[in-house]
Structure 1
Amino acid sequence: MSIEPEAPEPRWAVPPVGGWTADDLDTLPNLPPHTELIDGSLVFVSPQTLFHSRAVSFFEWQLQSLVPPDLEVVREFTIDIDRYNRPEPDVIVVDGEIIQDPNQTRFPAESVRLAIEVVSPESLTRDRETKPVKYARARIPHYWRVENHDGRAVVYVFELEPSTGAYTSTGIFHDRMKVSVPFPADLDLTAITARRRAAPPE
C-alpha cells in the first residue's frame, strides 16, 4: 500500500516578517476567494448567510439605477488603503474614470465615494470598528453598515467629518432608507428579506 505524499503547505500559511503587503494579494497562489488584507494579515471569508447575499445584491442593483453617470457601483472588490491594508467592501461606489482595465484587481481608496459593509457574525468587530477607522483614514466620504436585526435589515449611515477626519452618524434606517448624499436614494429595505412569491398559475 503506497502512502500518498502530503500536500505542501500553502505559501500564504506563514506570513513573512512584517506581514503580507497589498501587492501580495495578486501574486500569492491559491488564495481563497475574497481574501482581504488587514494590518498585514490575510483575512478569509466564512460561508455567508442568505441575508448577507441578499443584502449585497440589493444594494448593488438598487444603486446601479441611482448613481450619477460619472459613478460606478462594484461589488466585492478590493481597495488600496496603504501597503498593509487592502480590504474588500461588500459594495463600493467609485469614480467611473478609475475603471479602465478589465483585468484590474483593485481600486485606490481615493476613488471610493461610498463603502458598504454587510455584517456577518464573524465580521462584526471588523465592520463596526476596524474597517470604519481605516476607511475614514483613507478619507472615503461615506460609509454604510448593514445589519440583520431579528430578520430585518437596519442600515447605519456615516459621513466623514472633515475637521476631525472621523465618521459621524447621520442616521439609522429601518424598513425605508432615504438619503440625499452621496446621491439621492429612497430604498425599501424590507425587500432585502421579503420572500419572493411564485407567480400564480394562469
Structure 2
Amino acid sequence: MTDVSSALDYWPSPPPWGWTADDLDHLPAEGPNGEPDFFKHVELIDGALVFMSPQKRFHQRMIRRLSEALDSQAPENLSVVDQMDVKLGHRMRPCPDISIVETTAADDDERTFYTPAEVHLIVEVVSPESEDRDRKTKPFRYAEAGIAHFWRVENNNGSPVVYVYELDPATGAYGLTGIHHGRLTVPVPFSIDIDLDRLPR
C-alpha cells in the first residue's frame, strides 16, 4: 500500500496510482490545508473520493427513525448499523445510510467497514446531491457484489416512499419488488412491517 501522505501531495487531483478502499483507513484527521474533519464524511466510488454534503433534516430523521424501526424487528443474528462503509472492491467503498449486517460483525467495535457477505440489506436515503449515485451507481455496485436486498428511500413532499429491490440470481441485477407508500410490509430479509407515515415526525 502506498503512503496516503504522498497521495495528498497531488491534492486536489488524485494520485497517479489512484485511491483504494484501504486508503480510507489511513486518511488524516485534517485536510491538506489543515481543515478540521476534512475527511470525516467521505466514501470511495469507483476510485474517486466523494465528499458527502451536510444532511437535510428529512434525511437525518429518516436514517434515525428507520434504523430504530428495523432494529426493533430484526432477529438476534442481524443488527442495524448506520453510516458504516461496505468494502465492495479494491476501489469501491461506499458508506450506505443504513445497513443490516451479521450481528457478529456489528459487535466488533474495531471495524471500519463490512464485507458484502456480511450485509443482508442496504438502505440509501436520497438527497438532491446524491440522486444519481443512489439511483444508478450504488445499486449497480451493490448488486454486482451480491448483496441480496436494497431499498431506496425518496422524499415525496415530506413523506417517504420506499423502493424495494431484490437480487435476481439469474441476472445478477436488482429487480423491483414493490414501491411502498404509507406502509412497508415485506417478508425478506426478515418479516418487516413499518408505518412509513410516522417515520419523519
TM-score (norm 1): 0.88
Superposition deviation, residue 104 in structure 1: 1.5
From 158, 168, 172, the counterpart of 1:151 = 158
Please tell me the residue identity of whatever aligns with 1:166. A
Q: Structure 2: give runs of 5+ residues left out of the alignment.
A: 1-7, 31-37
Match of 2:18 in 1: 19
Q: Secondary structure at the match of 2:135?
A: helix
Give ranges in structure 1 of 5+ residues lacking alignment. Answer: 1-9, 195-202
Following superposition, the deviation at residue 100 of structure 1 comes to: 5.0
Q: Is the 8 A contact 2:61 2:199 kept in 1?
A: yes
With over 3 angstroms needed to count, the CA separation of the structure-2 counterparts of 1:153 and 1:100, relative to structure 1, is closer
* Alignment partner, residue 187 of structure 2: 180
What is the aligned partner in structure 2 of residue 28 from structure 1? 27
Match of 2:55 in 1: 48
Work out the CA distance in 1 between the residues paired with 2:169 and 2:108.
Answer: 32
Question: For each residue in 1:82-120, what CA deviation from the matched residue of structure 2 results, as whole angstroms up to 9, or x when unmatched?
Answer: 000000000000111223531211111211000000000
Selected match of 1:63 from 44, 59, 70: 70
Q: How does 1:36-185 map to 2 (within 5 A)?
A: 36-185=43-192
* Separation (CA, whole Å) in 2 of partners of 1:18 and 1:172: 42
Q: Across the two proteins, how many residue pairs are aligned to each other? A: 185
Q: Does the aligned pair in 2 maintain the 1:153–1:189 contact within 8 Å?
A: yes
Letter of the 2:26 counterpart: T
**2:16 partner amino acid:** V
Task: Say whether the 8 Å CA contact 1:66–1:185 is kept in structure 2.
Answer: yes
44 and 62 in structure 1: CA distance in 2 versus 1, 3 angstrom threshold: same
Preserved CA contact (<8 Å) 2:80 2:101: yes
Higher Rg of the two aligned structures: 1
Deviation digits for residues 115-157 of structure 1, max 9, x if unmatched?
0000000000000000000000010000000000111110000
TM-score, normalised to structure 2's length? 0.88
Three-state SS of the structure 1 residue aligned to 2:121 is strand
Distance 1:142 1:173 in 2: 15
Tell me the amino acid that sits aligned with residue 27 of structure 2.
L
**Which AA in structure 2 matches 1:169?**
L
